[in-house]
Amino acid sequence: YAWIYRSILESVALTLKNNYDNMCNEMNHFAKHVIITGGGSNSDLFMQIFADVFNLPARRNAINGCASLGAAINTAVGLGLYPDYATAVDKMVRVKDIFMPVESNAKRYDAMNKGIFKDLTKHTDVILKKSYEVMHGELGNEDSIQSWSNA
């Protein structure tokens, strides 16, 4: 079942990349690396997939609790301990390690994304809408899952 686990990680990375690319294109701002935090960043495989999908170095922070670190950075700037966010981040964020993209993997993920993954929602949105209708009775009470459970 390793392939199922890997496909879930790849789906997460590809979804984030596509959303990230849309945001960057809109803002005309492009990153030189990505920072991965949270429980998923404990996985070397997940980190490498991110590096390959984004085709950028993927940094893993020494402190994994990004919400608490972000709160601490905001507090430090708010209290005047650091003059600005860039300085606070530079002083407070420590990189544990960096995963570099593997060129052959990056090319494969790019082809998979452009050729398959980006178009998935065009097909699944219709199915999800129908699923919602069946599960929530939009087709009529006699056809809904809710009516089955009330029988």
- Higher-confidence position of 106 and 93: 106
- Spell out the domain ranges in the chain: 2-104, 116-151
Best CA proximity match to 58, nearest among 114, 9, 13, 118? 13
At 64-77, the pLDDT tens digits run 877 888 899 999 99
With the C-alpha atoms ordered 76, 81, 86, 89, is the resulting torsion angle positive or negative?
A: negative
CATH architecture label of 2-104: 2-Layer Sandwich (3.30)
Q: How far is CA 36 from the centre of its chain?
A: 9
Least confident of 85-99, 116-130, 131-145: 131-145
Mean predicted lDDT score pLDDT of the chain: 89
Q: Is the pLDDT of residue 144 over 60?
A: no
Distances (CA, A) of 125 to 107, 108, 115: 27, 25, 18
